[in-house]
Amino acid sequence: MAIQDCAENGQFDPRKIVALLQTSSGELARTLGLAKDALGREDLMSSDHTQHCIAQMAEVLGKIEARFGSTLVAYAWYRSEPIPGFSGQSAMELVQSGRARDVLAYIEAVSAGIHA
pLDDT at 116: 55
Half-sphere exposure of 44 (CA within 13 A, CB side): 12
Tally Cβ neighbours within 10 Å of residue 77.
Answer: 20
* Average pLDDT taken over every residue of the chain: 93
CA–CA distance, 65 with 4 (Å, rounded to integer): 11
The pLDDT of 24-44, averaged and rounded, is 92
Domain of residue 87 covers 3-111
Q: How many domains does the chain have?
A: 1
Cβ-proximal residues to 77 (8 Å cutoff; 6+ apart), any chain: 64, 68, 91
* Inside any domain, residue 116: no
Q: How confident is the model at residue 71 (pLDDT cuts 50, 70, 90)?
A: very high
* Inside any domain, residue 100: yes
* Inside any domain, residue 80: yes
Residue 37, pLDDT above cutoff 60: yes
Q: What is the pLDDT of residues 77-108, one digit of tens each?
A: 999 999 999 999 999 999 999 999 999 999 99
pLDDT at 59: 96
Q: What is the pTM of this model?
A: 0.92
* Inside any domain, residue 8: yes
